[in-house]
Amino acid sequence: MSLQTRVVAAAESVLARQKYVAPVDVCVGIGWLHSRNVDQWRQGRTRTLEELLPVDPARLAEVIEYLQAWAAGQGLTGREAPYVAATRDRRPLRFTGDGGPEAEAAWRTHWVAPGLTAAQQERITKKQSAPDLVVIQPAKEFTCAECHQPGGDLLIMEDNRPLCLTCADMDHLMFLPAGDAALTRRAKKASTLSAVVVRWNKSRKRHERQGLLVEEQALEQAEQECLADADLRLRRRERDAVRREHQDVEFTARFAAEIARLYPGCPAPRAEEIATHAGLRGSGRVGRSAAGRNLDSGAVTLAVIASIRHLDTDYDALLMSGVARPDARERIRPLIDAVLATWSS
């Protein structure tokens, strides 16, 4: 599969999921970056993103070129986002080592789907301009790079060095465990300084959120607010649960009907199975994306292709045998195209 084809496929998938596409998303989608590499860069632990990419600058320039051409063809709007590090100094992040202002601007550009409101576009930009500070629960003991003392249960990385919270001027914050969304949201809003606490999961090979560090007065204020309207929120949750159950049944039926419209040759039981699988609440699948909820034809097709990939080809067996994901997808593409052609007639 050509690089251009891979870039376009990754961009289409990302756009269907989040309504905008950035070059970093595409590099993750084509397998050149892992999310943990992006986290490492966002936390200011590498000088540039380019250092973490396994290709030379010329190939990266091709990715930008293909993405820009595709975005222009789709009528997307380019919007620069001020990427800053999730560090106390909020320093600007660099993408390239030797690239000039034009190259850096191209990497910062988010290609936004038509129809988004100004507020929605602003939220997209804010994700990059105000990232959460990240504090880590270390898996083993560490020594603070500043005071040279044992660091305790939490650390924050600064210039790729571990600092204890005392040296980071964050030891006055209180730990709020994850689990209560309302309490977490209110405490974070009320706290002048806050940080997300994460811990490395060896089996999943990723950092997972454990809770939040907030100021004590912010936590007390949030607790009082939650106590004051606990009954109201309980009744609201009960009403929402009933409404969501009804909506999910209705949505699955509409999703299956759209599959039948786009692919009339798809057996009805299979269409229902695809719709149920794609729209499962909490799954993160395409049916739960904004495009999926709007029954976008591209999102519906992605759900159909995913079903064919796993049920009608040996894709999973190829992955288990060690075949790289892009190569495995290339091998099974003719079979997927054949099934889609049959179902389309």
Per-residue pLDDT, averaged over 232-258, amounts to 78
- What is the reported pLDDT for 173? 92
Only one residue has tokens 């009339």, namely 264
Q: Which is nearest to 213 in space by CA: 157, 181, 165?
A: 165
Q: Give SS3 for 112.
A: strand
Q: pLDDT digit string (tens) for 273-329?
A: 898 888 775 555 665 566 666 788 888 898 899 999 999 999 988 888 888 888 989
Domain spans in the chain, listed from the N-terminal domain onward? 1-130, 132-228, 230-344
CA-CA distance, 230 to 67, in Å (whole number)? 48
Contact, 93 vs 84, CB < 8 A?
yes
- Least confidently predicted of 109-113, 128-132, 219-223, 248-252: 128-132
Kindly state the DSSP code that residue 285 receives in the 8-state scheme. Answer: -
Contact, 60 vs 30, CB < 8 A?
no
Residue 47 makes CB contacts below 8 A (sequence gap 6+) with 94, 97
Q: pLDDT digit string (tens) for 197-210?
A: 999 888 887 889 99
Long-range contacts, 114-121 (Cβ 8 Å, 24+): 114/75, 114/76, 114/77, 116/19, 116/20, 120/19, 121/79
Reply yes or no on whether the pLDDT at 244 is more than 70: no
**CB-based burial label for 95 (10 Å; 0-12, 13-18, 19+):** buried
Kindly state the DSSP code that residue 84 receives in the 8-state scheme. Answer: B
Does residue 120 or residue 100 have the better pLDDT?
Answer: 100
Exposure string over 47-66, b if 16+ CB within 10 A, otherwise e: ebbbebbeeeeeebeebbeb
CA-CA distance, 19 to 25, in Å (whole number)? 12
Long-range contacts, 166-170 (Cβ 8 Å, 24+): 168/88, 169/88, 170/135, 170/195, 170/213
Q: pLDDT digit string (tens) for 66-117?
A: 999 999 999 998 988 888 888 877 888 999 988 789 999 999 999 988 877 7
CA-CA distance, 222 to 178, in Å (whole number)? 14
Six-digit token pair at 33? 């970056």
Which of 138-142, 146-150, 340-344 is the most confident on average? Answer: 340-344
Instruction: State pTM to two decimals.
Output: 0.58
Reply yes or no on whether the pLDDT at 131 is more than 90: no
Residue 16 makes CB contacts below 8 A (sequence gap 6+) with 286, 289, 291, 292, 296, 298, 299, 302
- What is the reported pLDDT for 323? 86
- What is the reported pLDDT for 159? 78
Contact, 145 vs 56, CB < 8 A?
no
Only one residue has tokens 């290609």, namely 111
Q: pLDDT digit string (tens) for 147-203?
A: 898 878 899 988 788 889 888 888 899 999 998 899 999 999 999 889 999 998 888
Percent helix, strand, coil in the chain, to 5, is 55, 15, 30
Q: pLDDT digit string (tens) for 5-58?
A: 999 999 998 988 888 999 999 999 999 998 888 888 988 888 899 999 999 889
Q: Which is nearest to 171 in space by CA: 196, 152, 199?
A: 152
